[in-house]
Amino acid sequence: MRRDFVLFVFGFYEAEKIKMDIHEAKFFKEFLNMTFLSYSNGWNERNGGNMSYRLSDKDSEEVIENFSFDRDWAEIGASVPGLKNEYFMVTGSGKYFRNTKSDPENNVAIIKIDDTGTKYKIVWGLESGGRPTSELPTHLMNHEVKKKQTDGRYRVIYHAHPVNLIALTYVLKQDTKVFTTELWDSMTECPIVFPKGVAVIPWMVPGGREIAVRTSELIKDYDIVVWCFHGAFVSGEDFDSAFGLMETVEKAAEIVVKVRSMGGKKYHLSKDDIMSLAKPYNVDINGDLVTDI
C-alpha cells in the first residue's frame, strides 16, 4: 500500500515534470530571441528571411501537450525521408521576424513531418492561418543533409538578408574561392570561425525545389551558402552557433565594404598567415579555398 502510494506520487511528479507551457521552453524562447535579434540587426526587413529548428525528443516531450493534431497534412514540395516523424519550429510564410517574439501564435508554427517524409502538419501556431516559410523545401532538405552528416547534432537552419554580404555579391566575382579568401583576409577570427569557407551560388529564383537542391548539395561541405543578390543560408548545431556564423561573416563583409570604400586593401593576410591559425586554434582550414585576389 505504502509502495503503491509512493509510485503514484512519483508518477504524478513525472507527469507534471513534462507538462510545460510552450512559452517556457528553452528552444522556443531562444528561437524567438534570435529572430528578433536578427531583425534588430537589419537582416530581416518585412517578411525577409526564415528560420527552422529541429526539436529534440526532450523538447517535444516537454511541450507535446500544447500541440493539436487536427489540422490537415500538406505537401512539403520535397521528399525528406530522413526527417520522418520529426518536429520543427518554423517561421511563417509572409510573416515578419519583427513580430515573432511579440506574437508567436500568429507568426511561427511547429510542424510534424509524416512517416513518408513528403507531408507536414501544423501542430501549433499560425492560429490566424498561413503556411510555413516559402523556403520550407530548402530548410528541410538542408536539415536532412546536416542531421545525417553530424549524427543529429545540427538543429538550426537560418536564412537572412545581411546588408554587406549582399552588397558584395554585386562587386566580387560570384565564386566560392574569391568570397572565402576576401572574407578570411578581412579579420583574423574568420578562418577560425568558418574554416570550411563560404559557398556562393549565382542568382536563382528563390522558394523552389531547384535552389533547395543546389543549396543542400553545398551545405554538405559548407555551413554557410551565399545566395547572390539575395542573402545567405546558415546551418548550425544550435541557435548561438548559427547566429554567430551569420554575424561573423556579415561583419567580415562589412570590413571588406569599408576597406574597398577607402580605396581597397593595401595589405593582406597571406595564405601562410591564414594557414598558421590552424594548429594553435585546432581547426581544419581548407587551404584549397585561398586564391589570389
Residue 130: alpha-carbon gap to chain centroid? 21
Region from 57-65, 83-91, 98-106, 223-231 binding Zn ion, contact rule CB under 5 A: 223-231
The answer to the question of residue 132 lying near ligand 2HA (CB under 6 A) is no
> Which of 47, 176 has the CB closer to Zn ion?
47
CB of 113 closer than 8 Å to CB of 78? no
**47 binding partner (options ligand 2HA, Zn ion, none; Cβ < 5 to 8 Å by kind):** ligand 2HA
User: What is the x/- site pattern for ligand 2HA, positions 236-275, by CB under 6 A?
Assistant: ----------------------------------------
- At 111 the three-state DSSP class reads strand
The active-site residue, picked from 135, 247, 250, 254, is 135
**180 binding partner (options ligand 2HA, Zn ion, none; Cβ < 5 to 8 Å by kind):** none
Give the whole-angstrom CA distance, residue 259 versus residue 128. 47
> Which of 1, 205 has the CB closer to ligand 2HA?
205
Region from 15-23, 98-106, 225-233, 237-245 binding Zn ion, contact rule CB under 5 A: 225-233
Give the whole-angstrom CA distance, residue 277 versus residue 283. 8
Region from 42-50, 69-77, 256-264, 266-274 binding ligand 2HA, contact rule CB under 6 A: 42-50
User: Of all residues in the chain, what percent are helix, strand and coil, respectively (each to 5)?
Assistant: 45, 15, 40
Which one among 206, 228, 244, 260 touches ligand 2HA, defined by CB under 6 A?
Answer: 206
The answer to the question of residue 77 lying near ligand 2HA (CB under 6 A) is no
CA torsion, ordered 175, 178, 183, 187, to nearest 10 deg: 170
**121 binding partner (options Zn ion, ligand 2HA, none; Cβ < 5 to 8 Å by kind):** none
Nearest residue to the partner ligand 2HA, using Cβ: 206
Which one among 86, 135, 144, 223 touches ligand 2HA, defined by CB under 6 A?
Answer: 135
Task: Write out the E strands in the chain.
Answer: 50-54, 74-75, 87-91, 108-113, 119-125, 156-160, 199-201, 224-227, 231-236
Q: Which residues are catalytic?
A: 135
